[in-house]
Structure 1
Amino acid sequence: MPNRGDRGGSRTRAHIADVATALFLDRGFDDVTIVEVAAAAGVSKVTVFKHFDRKEDLLLDRLPDVVEIARAAVRERADEVSAVEAIRQTLLALAEERHGLSALDEGIEPFLRIVVEAPTLIARLRVFEHEIEAALTEELAADERFSGDSALLAALVVAAYRIVAVETVRRRLAGDDPADVAAAHRQRLNQAFDAIEYGISAHAPW
């Protein structure tokens, strides 16, 4: 169980991220400095960097949540559920609740616009793809119920979700009907994971 210091640190991290996000939404990512974020949050620049390795992580502060969600999907699945199916169901659940990580959250367009318009944020997301792929590979390799190629499956899952997410973001920013976008998001998720589960499982059981 986290101690009081851990909880306090989590609150401080969340507060800094919230303040930074508000500044980025108001003025743009490139026009806000770390010093300005620290001042607005009432903390020092050192404190900001204690909680965040880089400026991009102030806006993309939920990336660590993605890692844990992916790991938990594999680790906590029932024995009769494949790793692919467990990840699929987790992603569909995020879509159903319009979770921010699905890009289906109401009013998320300003946030998405900041991300797509800042090359450094796009670069950070590309690095994160490698990070989540490595985490999934590690989790699958440690799972005694999994007998396939952990690195291959992790790469396929990350690539499949990237394709789905990019199209969802494009449609949200284009102003398409949110209900239609959500339905298409779920359909593409199922198509992608069907391709992984059934197109490959004959050769490498997941």
Structure 2
Amino acid sequence: MGLRERKKQDTVRRIAETALRLFVERGFDAVTIAEVAEASDVAVNTVYNHFRVKEDLVLPPSEASAGRLAEIVRARGRGVSAARAVLDRLRGEIEQRSRTIGLSPGFGRVLPMMLAAPTLAARLQDLGQQMVAELADLLTAETDAAQGDPVPGLVAAQIGWVHSLLYGEIGKRTVAGERPDDIAEAALSLLDAIEGLLSDQVLTYATRKDA
């Protein structure tokens, strides 16, 4: 990575961290882009060059992607089903205390701020729906499902339910002030319980046969 790219990444990180601090302190709706720019020591246009809309400062597309579930499933190896790919990824993220799954330090202050902002709460809800829709499209294509076949969409919805339920549990415990290690232990137990309830049809659907 060249010096110019490193400086760009440093700027993006500084803006995002500054914005998040201000949002947590004062509330998302109470802080303007101009105030974020001033506190970050950059021009307003610089903020918009890196973040298309204000919500991207909290939920950047690179991290909060509508293609998350589809990307996980698309990257699975031979002999791995769609549901197994997602379950394994979620377990790995929990064990690593990943920011992606909401287990990073300080998230207990960030989540209430997000839920209190109508546009962020709506974006989170839309994101979950888009994830399921993109996964359903992928499963339809991979299994050569007939037009109107409901199964790919139903399987995608179940996988999306697992993803959403796990995030909800982590979020609830985070807001309650539980320690990340305790939250992770509870999340893994919940994931085990969920897997035990999923049918064999869901757990084996779209198992990759090629390498």
TM > 0.5 fold call: yes
Tell me what 1:108 maps to. 107
What percent of counterpart residues are identical?
Answer: 32
Superposition misfits of 4+ residues, deviation over 6 angstroms: 2-8, 145-148
Does the 8 Å contact 1:99/1:105 carry over to 2? Answer: yes
Give the letter for the 1:22 counterpart.
Answer: R
Aligned partner of 1:65 among 51, 58, 63: 63
Does the 8 Å contact 1:88/1:190 carry over to 2? Answer: no
Does the 8 Å contact 2:83/2:205 carry over to 1? Answer: no
Deviating more after overlay: 48-57 vs 77-86 = 48-57
Q: Please list the CA deviations of residues 81-101 of structure 1 after superposition, one character each: whole Å capped at 9, or x if unmatched.
A: 111101110011000011112
C-alpha distance in 1, partners of 2:168/2:71? 24
C-alpha distance in 2, partners of 1:139/1:74? 9
C-alpha distance in 1, partners of 2:64/2:49? 21
Structure 1 residue 187: deviation in Å? 1.7
Give the letter for the 1:29 counterpart.
Answer: F
Segments of structure 2 that go 5 or more residues without pairing to the other structure are 207-211
C-alpha distance in 2, partners of 1:8/1:138? 38
After TM superposition, the structure 1 = structure 2 runs for residues 32-111 of structure 1, keeping only pairs within 5 Å, are: 32-61=31-60, 63-67=61-65, 69-111=68-110
C-alpha distance in 1, partners of 2:114/2:25? 14
Tell me what 1:20 maps to. 19
Higher relative contact order (CA 8 A, sep 6+): 2
Q: Please list the CA deviations of residues 21-62 of structure 1 after superposition, one character each: whole Å capped at 9, or x if unmatched.
A: 12212322222101111222333333333333322221122x
Tell me what 1:171 maps to. 173
Change in Cα spacing, 1:146 to 1:164, as seen in structure 2 (3 Å) is farther
Structure 1 residue 19: deviation in Å? 2.0
Change in Cα spacing, 1:151 to 1:66, as seen in structure 2 (3 Å) is farther
Q: Please list the CA deviations of residues 51-83 of structure 1 after superposition, one character each: whole Å capped at 9, or x if unmatched.
A: 33322221122x533536534421221211111
Deviating more after overlay: 44-53 vs 101-110 = 44-53
Deviating more after overlay: 12-21 vs 81-90 = 12-21
Does the 8 Å contact 1:70/1:136 carry over to 2? Answer: yes
Tell me what 2:183 maps to. 181
Equivalent position SS for 2:29: coil
Change in Cα spacing, 1:201 to 1:94, as seen in structure 2 (3 Å) is closer
Change in Cα spacing, 1:25 to 1:201, as seen in structure 2 (3 Å) is closer
Change in Cα spacing, 1:195 to 1:111, as seen in structure 2 (3 Å) is same
Q: Please list the CA deviations of residues 119-168 of structure 1 after superposition, one character each: whole Å capped at 9, or x if unmatched.
A: 22211101111222233234334436999933322222222221221122
Deviating more after overlay: 13-22 vs 142-151 = 142-151
The TM-score, its normalising length taken from structure 1, stands at 0.79
Tell me what 2:205 maps to. 205
C-alpha distance in 2, partners of 1:37/1:110? 18
Taking only aligned residues, the RMSD between alpha carbons, in angstroms, comes to: 3.2
